[in-house]
């Protein structure tokens, strides 16, 4: 249970991550700027990539798990004719092929194979663990091992701009999708090879690039604007769930960790508020379906 007054800031900062920064770098910077220990990110973004990185602060760190299944959208620049071992511009070139015969029509046809649910093999340069070691550690040691394909879903895959051998694609995809791997596999299908030459994440779940602020803007924003205008409320992670509004007596029992009478579907996640609209946390309906048990109890924001 959160203690009242434990931390000054609570909410999600939507950061436009700069190139060359790891997601961990961004978290560290925000910890220092806010002087807040409880900071974490919702969805790793490769160092070379830029764009939307949701950063949870304070009580928002307790809701990150509810964003785990969030879909994401990207604008990806694909360069044909060259493949690398990392599938992006930072890797070692593994082959080159003249892509002069590939036009927009050929690209459109190749994209058909990557829409909907597909099986994707994670790249060696990734954080996936195999046998207790991350793949990128093995890759840097010069090793390549068999990786099991994983199901991912490509909801949208469209050409934004095409100036062969470079194409810009809009990609909307499920969690766990490696855009680098998608680009690599596209190059294999075309027979030319391809690498991801630029990547911008424009959406993660409910967070969009239009909402994002740059890291270098944050200190000044904190001086000029109230926190609620800078950050998104922590309950955004469960806005797609039902809400329960409870009376003062029930609120007091909720804060003590007691289950409440509630009629719902067994296992359902519910966001809880008092009569004034203050967020009190998250509950889950018990298997018998008539009790709401506290899962996350937070102090009033």
Q: Which residues are catalytic?
A: 46
Contact between 154 and 116 (Cβ < 8 Å) = yes
β-bridge pairing 50-57 and 194-204: parallel
Name the β-bridge partners of 157: 171
Cα–Cα distance for residue pair 272/276, rounded to 1 Å: 11
Q: Give the other-Cβ count within 10 Å of 196's Cβ.
A: 30
Task: Spell out the SS3 assignment of the chain.
Answer: CCCCCCCCCCEEEEEEECCCCCHHHHHHHHHHHHCCCCEEECCCCCCCCEEEEEEEEHHHHHHHHHHCCCCEEEEEEEEECEEECCCECCCCEEEECCCCCCCHHHHHHHHHHHCEEEEECCCCCCCCEECCEEHHHHHHCCCCCCCCCEEEEEEEEEEEEEECCEEEEEEEECCCCCHHHHHHHHHHHHCCCEEEEEEEEEEECCEEHHHCECHHHHHHHHHHCCHHHHCECHHHHHCCCEEEEECHHHHHHHHCCCCEECCCCCCCEEEEEECCCCEEEEEEECCCCCEEEEEEECCCC
| Cα–Cα distance, 281 to 106 (Å, whole number) | 51
Question: Rounded CA gap, 23 and 46, in Å?
Answer: 7
């Amino acid at each position: 249970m959160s203690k009242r007054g434990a931390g000054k800031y609570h909410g999600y900062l939507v950061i436009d991550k700069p190139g060359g920064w790891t997601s961990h770098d961004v978290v560290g910077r925000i910890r220092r700027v806010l002087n807040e220990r409880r900071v974490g990110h919702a969805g790793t973004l490769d160092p070379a990539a830029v764009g939307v990185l949701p950063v949870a602060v304070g009580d928002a760190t307790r809701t990150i798990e509810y964003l785990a299944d969030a879909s994401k959208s990207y604008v990806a620049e694909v360069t044909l004719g060259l493949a690398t071992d990392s599938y992006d511009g930072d890797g070692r070139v593994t082959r080159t092929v003249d892509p002069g015969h590939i036009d927009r029509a050929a690209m459109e046809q190749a994209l058909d194979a990557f829409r909907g649910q597909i099986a994707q093999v994670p790249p060696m340069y990734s954080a996936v663990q195999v046998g207790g070691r991350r793949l990128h550690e093995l890759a840097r040691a010069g090793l390549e091992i068999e990786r099991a394909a994983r199901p991912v879903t490509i909801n949208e895959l469209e050409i934004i701009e095409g100036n062969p051998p470079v194409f810009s694609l809009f990609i909307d995809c499920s969690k766990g999708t490696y855009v680098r791997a998608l680009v690599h596999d596209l190059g294999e299908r075309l027979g030319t090879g391809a690498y991801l030459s630029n990547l911008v994440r424009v959406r993660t779940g409910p967070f969009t690039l239009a909402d994002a602020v740059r890291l270098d803007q944050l200190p000044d924003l904190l001086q000029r604007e109230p926190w609620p205008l800078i950050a998104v409320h922590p309950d955004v992670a469960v806005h797609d769930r039902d809400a329960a509004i409870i009376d003062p007596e029930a609120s007091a029992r909720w804060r003590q960790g007691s289950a409440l009478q509630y009629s719902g579907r067994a296992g359902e996640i519910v966001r809880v508020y008092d009569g004034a609209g203050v967020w009190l946390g998250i509950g889950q309906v018990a298997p018998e379906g008539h009790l709401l048990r506290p899962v996350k109890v937070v102090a009033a924001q």
